[in-house]
């Protein structure tokens, strides 16, 4: 009986030893990764402590009074200066305005203006917008907004914008000088949503040629573009001029959707890839609205990013003619990370490549 037990134990011992060895190796690797992570965290803490010590010393000992918030901002700017120019820090007070261009709307009164001889003069009024409803017309001059005199005080465009914009359905009192009568009067304008349109012009140049001028790629671009295309096709469009001059880009998705309208099948439109970001391909997928007609895409030196995605896809697939001047050369993809203090970091995480594998990113080796 004892011999049988010994035999069983002899058989199980190698298997038990192997299991213990595997368990030990697994725990060892996990412990190594944990310790490495702790070392990395410790290094980060030490670097942060170093920055805090320097700023604290300046705050306590420097000969003059210093704005500490400015020091932190300059420190961040200094760090980012070693990266590409499109990786930027956006202070909290500027973030709303930066996001408005991409989101396609803001809350305001609906006017465009120039500052002429230190006076704000209205040059355009949004149709059916708050300002028009309140009786403000082209040529009117702004004298005072609420309690702030804005005429003859050297106010900047950003200054007047900050006074006119605000929360939805709030009132703003403006004293104006009437363009026709020359009289001063007060108007109360109720702020509301003011759209930032992506398409500046959509018209027929002749009986068969449509023209669309696209100024940005925002959250509303796809809807605007589809509406414009339907209208032009209904008017008999058989060839199209797409004007992307002075278009600095914006969101990736509407650029892919617009390129898809010109390409048949499942052709590759663009792909992105980064050191930490795996390749992601964007292909045509739906039946496009203009896959057969003659197409010309106009570009210039300020056509960038999403504009270059559309132009690159058209060019690589020989879908149409790309005409104009050499584009800006921004082949980088940014992702925005909102920070705890209301600011944001727009960080470059990948490059994008045209269907043939070209990166159109401009080299910064010779300076910016």
Give the CA distances from residue 361 to residues 98, 350, 364, in Å, rounded to whole numbers and listed in that order: 23, 11, 9
Q: Which of 200, 316, 351, 359 is catalytic?
A: 316
Tokens coding 153? 């005080």
Give the CA distances from residue 137 to residues 112, 169, 181, 290, in Å, rounded to whole numbers and listed in that order: 11, 21, 12, 40
Rounded to whole angstroms, how far apart are CA atoms 221 and 104?
8
73: exposed, middle or buried (Cβ count in 10 Å: 0-12, 13-18, 19+): middle
Q: Which of 215, 303, 305, 307 is catalytic?
A: 305
91: exposed, middle or buried (Cβ count in 10 Å: 0-12, 13-18, 19+): middle
Would residue 330 show up in a list of annotated catalytic residues for this protein? Answer: yes
Are residues 103 and 114 in contact, defined by beta-carbon separation less than 8 angstroms? no
Would residue 202 show up in a list of annotated catalytic residues for this protein? Answer: no
3-state secondary structure 61-111: HCCCCCCHHHHHHHHHHHHHCCCCCCCEEECHHHHHHHHHHHHCEEEECCE
Look at strands 239-243 and 209-214 and give their pairing.
parallel
Tokens coding 194? 């003011």
Rounded to whole angstroms, how far apart are CA atoms 35 and 25?
15
Three-state secondary structure call for residue 120: strand
Which of left, alpha, beta for 246 (phi over 0: left; psi -120 to 50: alpha)?
left
Give the CA distances from residue 345 to residues 51, 73, 210, 245, in Å, rounded to whole numbers and listed in that order: 19, 12, 40, 28
- CB atoms near residue 341 (< 10 Å): 10
Look at strands 105-108 and 184-190 and give their pairing.
unpaired
Q: Which of 330, 340, 341, 351 is catalytic?
A: 330
Would residue 316 show up in a list of annotated catalytic residues for this protein? Answer: yes
Are residues 272 and 351 in contact, defined by beta-carbon separation less than 8 angstroms? yes
177 bridge partner residues:
141, 184
Residues with active-site annotation: 305, 316, 330
């Amino acid at each position: 009986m004892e011999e049988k037990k010994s035999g069983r134990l002899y058989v199980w011992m190698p298997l038990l030893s192997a299991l213990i060895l595997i368990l030990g190796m697994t725990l060892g690797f996990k412990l190594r990764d944990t310790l490495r992570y702790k070392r990395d965290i410790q290094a980060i803490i030490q670097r942060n402590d170093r920055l805090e010590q320097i700023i604290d010393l300046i705050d306590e000992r420097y000969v003059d009074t210093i704005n500490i918030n400015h020091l932190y901002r300059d420190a961040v700017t200094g760090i980012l200066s070693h990266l590409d120019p499109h990786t930027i820090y956006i202070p909290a007070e500027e973030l709303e305005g930066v996001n408005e261009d991409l989101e396609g709307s803001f809350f305001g009164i609906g006017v465009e203006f120039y500052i002429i001889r230190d006076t704000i003069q209205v040059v355009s009024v949004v149709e059916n917008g708050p300002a028009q409803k309140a009786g403000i017309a082209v040529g009117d001059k702004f004298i005072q907004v609420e309690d702030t005199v804005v005429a003859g005080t050297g106010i900047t465009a950003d200054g007047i914008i900050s006074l006119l914009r605000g929360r939805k359905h709030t009132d703003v009192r403006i004293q104006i000088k009437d363009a026709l009568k020359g009289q001063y009067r007060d108007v109360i304008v109720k702020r509301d949503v003011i759209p930032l349109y992506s398409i500046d012009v959509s018209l027929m140049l002749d009986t068969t040629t449509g023209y669309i001028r696209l100024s940005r790629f925002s959250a509303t671009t796809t809807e605007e573009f589809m509406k414009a295309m339907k209208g032009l096709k209904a008017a008999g469009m058989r060839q199209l001029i797409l004007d992307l001059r002075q278009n600095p880009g914006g969101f990736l998705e509407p650029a892919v959707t617009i390129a898809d309208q010109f390409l048949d099948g499942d052709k590759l439109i663009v792909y992105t890839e980064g050191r930490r970001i795996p390749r992601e391909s964007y292909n045509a997928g739906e039946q496009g609205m203009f896959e057969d007609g003659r197409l010309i895409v106009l570009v210039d030196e300020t056509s960038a990013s999403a504009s270059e995605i559309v132009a690159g896809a058209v060019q690589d697939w020989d879908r149409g003619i790309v005409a104009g001047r050499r584009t800006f050369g921004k082949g980088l993809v940014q992702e925005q990370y909102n920070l705890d203090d209301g600011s944001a970091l727009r960080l470059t995480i990948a490059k994008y490549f045209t269907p043939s594998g070209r990166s159109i990113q401009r080299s910064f080796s010779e300076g910016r």
